[in-house]
Amino acid sequence: MHIALLAPLPPEKNGIADYAGHLKSALEQQGVTISTPLLGVGNDVDKALERVAQWDWQGIDLVHAEIGGGRLAEFNALRELRRRFPGLPITATVHDPERLVWRRAQLPWPLSMASGMPSPVPQIATVLADPLCLHEERQLARSLTRLITLTQSGGHALRKRMGLREEQMAVVPHGNLLIPPAPLPPLEPLRLLYFGFIYRGKGIEDLLDALTLTFAQQPALRSTIRLTLAGGSEPEMAFGPSGGYIGQLRQRITQAGLEGNIDWQLDLPAADIAKVIQAHHVMVLPYRESSKLKLLGTQRGTSGALSWAVACGRGAITSDARSFAEEVAGGNGVIFAQGNVAALAAEISHLCATPELAQRWSEHASLIGSQRVWPHTAERFLKVFAAACTEH
């Protein structure tokens, strides 16, 4: 099988690029030939459309795309491909259901005049233009042969919002690397880990506030808990730059008197990720839903960080944002209401009081991780691709 993969790929710094890189490698190990027509165009729509026009599509059995994170290059390339080749099997992994991309590359006139105006005028213009964006997303989604989501809840949300047929849908859980198991570190101090790209909207402030509240309620725990903030400090963001966010976090930590409980592991080399995760007991992901995106829909994606957690055999405390509740429903963690600092503090305190939870979560996470290794995930994708080709 010869597949054209439309996706960001490393060294681009975002979660979808990491995912696509692993998927590409896993499929190639299954004997699939992969071409990457958009390699190097970044998120430039004009360059993507130029590549579509110049590429020789003869001999391509199927086109597969990774869509999400506001990636407009792949979205518009798919629209053009579907226009040119109505019978071509096209599939896509949708990383941010219930929408495909959530925004247009350009606002239509006269709303485009708002782009250079002060906030909140551009945001209001985006909301006013959203019916057009939603129409274009639905038009493309309904023309695709298969749409793949990482969770059942994400698939349900996508199908409902895009008006899709049941037979168009498939669920393939997030793949993960095969990581040799490692025992939990000694239970004292309790080592918590935030892992992922570090930018606004991940709820990191809530985690710091929950730690502060925990120590205020139980001062004796100050000597028994450590938190590591680890991950990429300069992600390529579709919804705005991180600016001086790291500095703001450091200032918040100092003001809260948490310096003695916080460790940093910024811009981890890929080779060190598993070692760092397995040096901790539990991953904590306190994500919040974006207040801006709430105006446009409900985000039901998942997290590459959670995939790393199960791969490394570690449980997770997560908010109920996105599809996290489904991802920890296998006995590998617990959820709390997003933005509820007291609830997160209570979960941290409960874990301190019953540290055997970390061991139980770890065992369940290891089982899930063994079922989702990339070779198995590639096999699941190949079944979806085969069905898509047969249908066309």
- 56-100 pLDDT, tens digit per residue, is 999 999 999 999 988 999 999 999 999 999 999 999 999 999 999
Residue 239 confidence (pLDDT) above 50:
no
What share of residues in the chain are helix, strand, coil (percent, to 5)? 45, 15, 40
| Cα separation values, 119 from 124, 202, 288, Å | 9, 22, 22
pLDDT given at position 234: 59
Q: Mean pLDDT, the chain, as a whole number? A: 94
- Read off the pLDDT band of 238 (50, 70, 90): very low
Cis peptide before 110 (omega within 30 of 0): yes
- Read off the pLDDT band of 242 (50, 70, 90): very low
**Residue with the larger pLDDT of the pair 35 and 295:** 35
Same fold: 2-175+374-391 with 190-371: yes
Tens of pLDDT along 249-305? 999 999 999 999 999 999 889 899 999 999 999 999 999 987 777 889 999 999 999
16 contact partners, CB below 8 Å, separation of at least 6: 7, 8, 66, 68, 69, 71, 95
The class that CATH gives domain 2-175+374-391 is alpha beta
**Residue with the larger pLDDT of the pair 234 and 379:** 379
**Residue with the larger pLDDT of the pair 107 and 320:** 320
- What does CATH list as the number for 190-371? 3.40.50.2000
Name the pTM for this structure.
Answer: 0.91
> What CA–CA distance (Å, rounded) separates 7 from 75?
10
For the chain, the structural domain boundaries read 2-175+374-391, 190-371
Residue 169 confidence (pLDDT) above 90:
yes
Residue 306 confidence (pLDDT) above 60:
yes
| Cα separation values, 353 from 346, 357, 365, Å | 10, 9, 21
- Read off the pLDDT band of 123 (50, 70, 90): confident
